[in-house]
Structure 1
Amino acid sequence: MSATSPPPREPTTSARLRRVPVVTRIQRGWLAVLAAMLLFDMADSSSFAYVAPAIRTQWGLSIGDIGTITAAAFLGMFVGSVIGGRLADRFGRKRTMVVATIFYSVCSLLSAASTGIYDLALYRVLTGCGLMATTVVLLTYVSEMFPSAKRGRVQATVSAVSLLGVPAMAWLSRWIVPMGPSAWRAIFILGGMGLLAALVSVKVLPESVRWLESQGRTAEAELVVAKIENEAMNALGERLPAAQAEALPPELSPRDLISAGYLRRTIVLCITLSFAISAFYGFNAWMPTLLVEHGLEPSQSLEYTSILSLAAVPGAILAMLFVDRVDRRTAVLVIYVVIAALMLVFGLADDTTVLLGTGLLITVLLQASTVCVYAYMPEIFPTQLRALGAGLGNGAGRLATFVATFVIAAILTRLGYTAVFVSLAAALLLAGLTIGVLGERTRGRSLEEISAVAEAGKSGAGRPAEEDVTNVT
């Protein structure tokens, strides 16, 4: 008597979503809301850098004091990144994004009312917590809700729009801060406008299909996917390709991030982002203060940094040209090596034209690399652990930046301006080599396929996990 074959599996909602080849009208609406949320996030995260010289003058603070407040925000970012990721995996992407956005907006408004270094540092800790929870979960949401073949370009689009918040905050600071000793408070009030984006997102954004599916809420996921499928077929004028059935992922818990399947990915991401984010913020967050120490007047420093901030959006747009065509780990390695060389030129230059030109190139490439890293982070972890995995890596980077802030202050005080940029160049080289040599290949692979490679040891099957999952990118 022959064994009865198991009934064929039905394609999951994730598989149905993945085979959609275009970004539909409804998804473009989500993209606009997500970009707005991240725009306010980016604007707020850069606000202190632009008001730091004015606060230092009004309150008579030292460079060390500025470093303390800057570092406080990164300590909050570490906490928010990890906790936000865990909450998103447990309670949902949308709910966590909305709550985190409201939280950081309120804390930014409180920053505007601060009376001294200690309460301002506390508010920046709390603001950083909300900011990074929003960022990590939003990036996770984008990776899960848009076509596989266009993940990088969608991330780049969201980044390009959101990065408008950086030059907007820079130019508003240049205009507002000189108005009076306490005019800097208005910049933090502007940072609290993320409340508006949070209110809109409640009405517009659905919950992540992949998260709903992982929680067994398939009926809700079905409603969202059906809308996307209908719009895609109307846009294409033809039926969609058949969705393939796939093996269900095994049950996972947070401790699996440090087990055999995902340990290497977690470590590589943490090391890469520890060096990369420290260098990124070492350049951007410290730039106004560094230029003043280099001999510029505070007003000149704001003018220079305002001009440099204009290169942020072109950097994200540049990434659109290659982010889905070149493997992300290779792109990041090459970009970091080039930026490291430019950091050395910037640190040694005295000519204004060289400073400005090199600074613009550094800013463009830093933002291009950020798009690649933002796309890479959530790709390498499974749905059940995606936000937490990305949060751990990102959180490690923020914690390292917390430490690096004091290191940069010490290097600037004891060794001088040029030594700061030599250190930043070394950090970027180490970040590039780590991800370039040890990182995962993600180009041309579905989220499920990338995750399944690491799950092979847990599945108990006698064949590689890639055979259980159909690549439908």
Structure 2
Amino acid sequence: MDDTLNRASAVNQDIAGRLAARLERLPRTTRSHRAWMVLLGILFICDLMDSNSLAYAAPAIRVEWGLSVAQIGQLTSYTFLGMFAGAILGGRLSDRVGRKRTLVWATVVYSVASLLCAVAPNLAVLGVLRVITGVGIQAVTGVLIVYVAEMYPGVSRGRCQALMLGIGFLGVPLVAVVARSIVPLSPSAWRWLFVLGAIAVIPALVAKWVLPESVRWAAVNGRSAEATKTVERLEAEASGPLPEIVEPTALHERKKSSDLFAPDMRRRTIVATLTVTFGVLGVYGFTSWVPTLLVERGFSTPEALTITTIFSVGQPAGALFGILLSDRFQRRSASLVLTTIIAALMLVFAFTGAYWVLVTSGLLVTLLLQTNTAVLYAYLPEVFPTVLRGLGAGFANGFGRLAGFGNAFLIAAIATGLGFGGVFTTTAVFTLLAGLTVGLFGERTRGRRLEEIGENLS
């Protein structure tokens, strides 16, 4: 029986390698790729709207329920706790049951939980619901970046990740504009921000019927006919003669979670995890706390929401700027340069006394943070083999979100003890550490086939 299973697995690995080679040789994205990108982008818009809704609702929640800054930090930490679980669980499920199925059900989970947040009667109930919301949100994010890595040709993989982020980050100014419009209307108007999360069910249902399963996952898991049909469709849509197929790289059969720390995988896992962890501490330390800390600095809630709405425009712009960088420069080098610039701008933001310097530096920080996110989202799934890609990316993301859970308490303590400048000096240090980690110890991935990077571990 074991010999039969091993032979079947070897056949699946061989078919998967050949289909991946056919997918990688595509000289450009096709009509189907572009249609999928629209749907993936819409799913990501909904995901990021829900992810950011609490930051914009927090000042009003604090006033209505009489919460302290520390309690707002506690509430923020609940989302990160859910994100930790969602990253690990979503990554593992996507490796076991498929990218598509995990994507659809994770979207449904956070949509329902977000809708329930809108009727939460107190901090405890809202906290529990934000944990559940965080599970779904981060599972969706992890699957989206893995799906793009596996379904788009290597020649444009980085640009496609940046494009998906650029579309998705439109959700941030959208939720900011909605918050600026409705939160000041009444003490409980913030609840409508969470109602928005339920609309994600609509694109999830569309994805269930329209989106194909990842070619690489389907082939490795014995669904080669389905995977072959998808590849043939893409080849037919590609105009002009196709390049010769490069000899496929042998795929790994390992599937245990502990394989992430096998001798030939350990360095990649640690570097990816530390990079994401420091990056999360920097990004969320900045974006999640700006509205609340601006109010603490003396701005009114409407003024703080106006400023953060301006900042939010930088999120899609920054991700789209990543299109120019992701496939033009090595991801690790681009990240190091970007994080150095971001850290300097965070220090300007932390200590300036001039209104327009604060607004301009904050906007540039927000923009370049998402440019760096686009670069790292392209990098992260590339360094793991197919059978561990969901889990590997999920582990790195999950550990980062667990650090974000602790960071919520850290930022609250720093805000209380050292104030505005202390908080954003801290985020500058974390951001620079993320760039140094991947820049000095990361893998070279630009222009290489996914199997060449993820499967060659020597």
2:39 aligned to which of 18, 33, 36? 33
Kindly indicate whether residue 336 of structure 2 is the aligned counterpart of residue 333 of structure 1.
yes
Find the aligned partners of 1:85 and 1:194 in 2 and give their Cα distance: 20
Find the aligned partners of 2:452 and 2:202 in 1 and give their Cα distance: 37
1:313 aligned to which of 295, 313, 316? 316
Following TM superposition, the consecutive aligned residue runs of length 4 or more in structure 1 with deviations greater than 6 angstroms are: none
Instruction: Using the TM superposition, give the Cα deviation of residue 247 of structure 1 relative to its aligned residue in structure 2, in angstroms.
Output: 4.1
CA-to-aligned-CA distance 1:184-238 (integer Å, 9 cap, x gap): 1111001221111101101110000000111122111111001000011xx23xx
Matching residue of 1:418: 421
Matching residue of 1:64: 70
Matching residue of 1:47: 53
Kindly indicate whether residue 280 of structure 2 is the aligned counterpart of residue 277 of structure 1.
yes
Kindly indicate whether residue 250 of structure 2 is the aligned counterpart of residue 244 of structure 1.
no
Instruction: Using the TM superposition, give the Cα deviation of residue 171 of structure 1 relative to its aligned residue in structure 2, in angstroms.
Output: 0.6
Matching residue of 2:384: 381
Matching residue of 2:114: 108
Instruction: Using the TM superposition, give the Cα deviation of residue 244 of structure 1 relative to its aligned residue in structure 2, in angstroms.
Output: 3.0
TM-score normalized by the length of structure 1: 0.92
Secondary structure at the counterpart of residue 456 of structure 2: helix
2:362 aligned to which of 343, 359, 368? 359
Alignment of 1:256-271 (within 5 A): 256-271=259-274
Find the aligned partners of 2:320 and 2:136 in 1 and give their Cα distance: 27
Find the aligned partners of 1:163 and 1:251 in 2 and give their Cα distance: 36
Find the aligned partners of 1:380 and 1:392 in 2 and give their Cα distance: 13
Find the aligned partners of 1:135 and 1:425 in 2 and give their Cα distance: 24
Kindly indicate whether residue 350 of structure 2 is the aligned counterpart of residue 347 of structure 1.
yes
Secondary structure at the counterpart of residue 12 of structure 1: helix
Find the aligned partners of 2:316 and 2:250 in 1 and give their Cα distance: 40
Find the aligned partners of 2:81 and 2:377 in 1 and give their Cα distance: 20
Find the aligned partners of 2:247 and 2:448 in 1 and give their Cα distance: 16
Find the aligned partners of 1:300 and 1:386 in 2 and give their Cα distance: 43
Q: Is the 8 A contact 2:252 2:385 kept in 1?
A: no
Find the aligned partners of 1:164 and 1:246 in 2 and give their Cα distance: 38
Alignment of 1:142-221 (within 5 A): 142-221=148-227
Identical columns (%): 49
Find the aligned partners of 1:252 and 1:204 in 2 and give their Cα distance: 31
> RMSD across aligned C-alpha pairs, in angstroms?
1.1
Matching residue of 2:456: 453
Alignment of 1:390-469 (within 5 A): 390-454=393-457, 456=458
Structure 2 residue identity aligned to 1:328: R
Find the aligned partners of 1:131 and 1:297 in 2 and give their Cα distance: 30
Secondary structure at the counterpart of residue 325 of structure 2: coil
Find the aligned partners of 1:334 and 1:348 in 2 and give their Cα distance: 22
The structure with more radius of gyration:
1
Consecutive unaligned residues in structure 2, runs of 5 or more: 1-13
Alignment of 1:115-126 (within 5 A): 115-126=121-132
CA-to-aligned-CA distance 1:278-333 (integer Å, 9 cap, x gap): 11011101000010111111111011101111111111121111110100011111
Consecutive unaligned residues in structure 1, runs of 5 or more: 1-8, 457-473
Secondary structure at the counterpart of residue 345 of structure 2: helix
Find the aligned partners of 2:252 and 2:439 in 1 and give their Cα distance: 29
CA-to-aligned-CA distance 1:375-410 (integer Å, 9 cap, x gap): 111000011000110001111111111111100000
Q: Is the 8 A contact 2:282 2:430 kept in 1?
A: yes
Find the aligned partners of 2:166 and 2:432 in 1 and give their Cα distance: 25
CA-to-aligned-CA distance 1:50-90 (integer Å, 9 cap, x gap): 01011100010111110011000001000000110000001
Find the aligned partners of 2:455 and 2:189 in 1 and give their Cα distance: 53
1:134 aligned to which of 140, 157, 180? 140
Instruction: Using the TM superposition, give the Cα deviation of residue 243 of structure 1 relative to its aligned residue in structure 2, in angstroms.
Output: 1.5
CA-to-aligned-CA distance 1:413-465 (integer Å, 9 cap, x gap): 011111111111111121111111011110111110012321x4xxxxxxxxx
Find the aligned partners of 1:196 and 1:212 in 2 and give their Cα distance: 25
Find the aligned partners of 1:56 and 1:418 in 2 and give their Cα distance: 22
TM-score normalized by the length of structure 2: 0.95
Q: Is the 8 A contact 2:249 2:452 kept in 1?
A: no
Q: Return the structure number with greater helix share.
A: 2
CA-to-aligned-CA distance 1:9-67 (integer Å, 9 cap, x gap): 88711111111111110111111110000110011000000010111000101111100
Instruction: Using the TM superposition, give the Cα deviation of residue 242 of structure 1 relative to its aligned residue in structure 2, in angstroms.
Output: 2.3
Matching residue of 2:23: 17
Structure 2 residue identity aligned to 1:365: L
Secondary structure at the counterpart of residue 326 of structure 2: coil
Q: Is the 8 A contact 2:106 2:139 kept in 1?
A: yes
Structure 1 residue identity aligned to 2:31: R
Aligned residues: 443
Find the aligned partners of 2:433 and 2:275 in 1 and give their Cα distance: 8
Q: Is the 8 A contact 2:20 2:248 kept in 1?
A: no
Matching residue of 1:255: 258
Structure 1 residue identity aligned to 2:251: P
Instruction: Using the TM superposition, give the Cα deviation of residue 248 of structure 1 relative to its aligned residue in structure 2, in angstroms.
Output: 2.8
Instruction: Using the TM superposition, give the Cα deviation of residue 270 of structure 1 relative to its aligned residue in structure 2, in angstroms.
Output: 1.1
Matching residue of 1:5: none
Structure 2 residue identity aligned to 1:315: G
Find the aligned partners of 1:452 and 1:420 in 2 and give their Cα distance: 41
